[in-house]
Amino acid sequence: MRTKRAKRTIRYHSTRMLWGCPLLVVACGPDAAHDEDRGIARGIIAIGDIAVGVVAIGGLTAGVISIGGLSCGVVTIGGVALGGIVLGGVAVGGVAFGGVAIGLAAAGGVAVGYYAAGGKAVGAYLISATQRDPQAVEFFRHWLPWISRRT
């Protein structure tokens, strides 16, 4: 018979403030005192189950730089990532890289974009296994040179 393990709770809130926000907040696990099922971190650097900050790291994140399972931000890395410059399993953004990448410029296994490079690419200008549009080659060579070297 398995016994149920208690979920570990971690809370840290820095005393140093910047722009009226705590510099670092860590909130992982449930907190009965604040009636939270998940740790919610809000600060300049936020680390938690749910994290919101300039730099956000966690399960569900939002921030300028966002790293998480489901993340949204200007520069984003995640399983499912949304934002400006995005890297993820499923990546949706201005410039998207991922297994499935959707954006103005997209590169990945399946890439959908105005400029798209990938195993299966869909868009106006493509680099794929069957097609190499000169406009796409020039775009990727100029803006994302490491991609054009591999294609």
Sorted by where each begins, the domain ranges of the chain are 10-150
| 35 within 8 A of 9, measured Cβ to Cβ | no
Mean pLDDT of 21-45: 83
Which pLDDT tens digit goes with each residue over 65-111? 999 999 999 999 999 999 999 999 999 999 999 999 999 999 999 99
Q: Residue 19's pLDDT band (boundaries 50, 70, 90)? A: confident
DSSP H helices, the chain, are: 134-143, 145-150
The structure tokens 């994140």 sit at 61
Q: In what helix (H) or strand (E) does residue 102 lie, and over which residues does it extend?
A: strand 40-122
Widest pairwise Cα distance in the chain: 64
Which pLDDT tens digit goes with each residue over 51-63? 999 999 999 999 9
The sign of the torsion formed by the CA atoms of 99, 85, 12, 30 equals negative
pLDDT recorded at residue 6: 59
